Amino acid sequence: MSHAPSQPSHSSGPTGTPLLGDTVGANLARAVRAFPEREALVECATGRRWTYARFAADVDAVALGLRAKGVGRGDRVGIWAPNRAEWTLTQYATAKLGAILVTVNPAYRSHELEYVLNQAGVRLLVAARQFKSSDYAAMVDEVRPRCAALTDVVLLDGPDWDELLLTGRQGDPAVLAGIGAELSADDPINVQYTSGTTGFPKGATLSHRNILNNGYFVGELCGYTEQDRICLPVPFYHCFGMVMGNLAATSHGACTVIPAPAFDAPATLAAVAAESCTSLYGVPTMFIAELADPDFDSYDLSSLRTGIMAGAPCPIEVMKDVIGRMGMTEVSICYGMTETSPVSTQTRADDSIERRVSTVGRVGPHLEVKVVDPATGRTVPRGDTGELCTRGYSVMLGYWGEPERTAEVIDPDGWMHTGDLAVMDEDGYLSITGRSKDMVIRGGENLYPREIEEFLYTHPDVLDVQVIGVPDARYGEELMAWVRMREGARPLTAEAVREYCTGRLAHFKIPRYVHVVDEFPMTVTGKIRKVEMREQAARLLGG
Nearest to 73 by CA among 41, 46, 96, 44: 96
CA distances from 444 to 469, 477, 510 (A): 13, 10, 15
Tell me the C-alpha distance between 379 and 386, whole Å: 8
pLDDT band for 374, please (50, 70, 90 cuts): confident
Rg of the chain over Cα atoms, rounded to whole angstroms, equals 23
Cβ atoms of residues 333 and 205 within 8 Å: no
Q: In this predicted structure, which of 224-238, 273-287, 440-454 has the lowest mean pLDDT?
A: 440-454
Distance CA 485, CA 391 (A): 40
Asked if residues 76 and 191 have their Cβ atoms less than 8 Å apart, the reply is yes
C-alpha–C-alpha distance, residues 120 and 83, integer Å: 22
Residues of the chain within CATH 3.40.50.12780 domain(s) are 24-423
Give tens-digit pLDDT for 253-309.
999 999 999 999 999 999 999 999 999 999 888 999 999 999 999 999 999 999 999
- What integer best gives the mean pLDDT of the chain? 93
> What's the topology of domain 24-423?
Rossmann fold (3.40.50)
Q: Name the band, by pLDDT with cuts 50, 70 and 90, for residue 524.
A: low
Q: By three-state DSSP, how is residue 538 classified?
A: helix
pLDDT score of 454 more than 90: no
286/288 Cα distance (integer angstroms): 5
Q: Which residues contact 505 (CB under 8 A, 6 or more apart)?
A: 452, 455
Please state the rounded mean pLDDT for residues 228-250: 97
Within the chain, which residue ranges are assigned CATH 3.30.300.30?
Answer: 440-540
Instruction: Provide the pLDDT confidence category of residue 529 given band limits of 50, 70 and 90.
Output: confident
Over 90: is that where the pLDDT of 161 sits? yes
pTM of the model: 0.85
Residue 198: the pLDDT is: 44
CB pairs under 8 A, 24+ apart, for 286-292? 286/233, 286/234, 286/526, 287/314, 287/318, 287/321, 287/322, 287/326, 288/315, 288/318, 288/463, 288/464, 289/263, 289/265, 290/265, 290/326, 291/318, 291/321, 291/322, 291/325, 291/326, 292/265, 292/463, 292/487
Q: Cα-flanking dihedrals φ and ψ of residue 311, to 5°?
A: 95, -25
Q: Are residues 489 and 464 in contact, defined by beta-carbon separation less than 8 angstroms?
A: no
| Record: fold of 440-540 | GMP Synthetase; Chain A, domain 3 (3.30.300)
pLDDT tens for residues 42-52?
A: 999 999 999 99
Give residue 543's pLDDT band: very low, low, confident or very high (50, 70, 90). Answer: low
Confidence of residue 4 (pLDDT cuts 50, 70, 90): low
Task: Name the 3-class secondary structure at 322.
Answer: helix
**Res 406: pLDDT:** 96
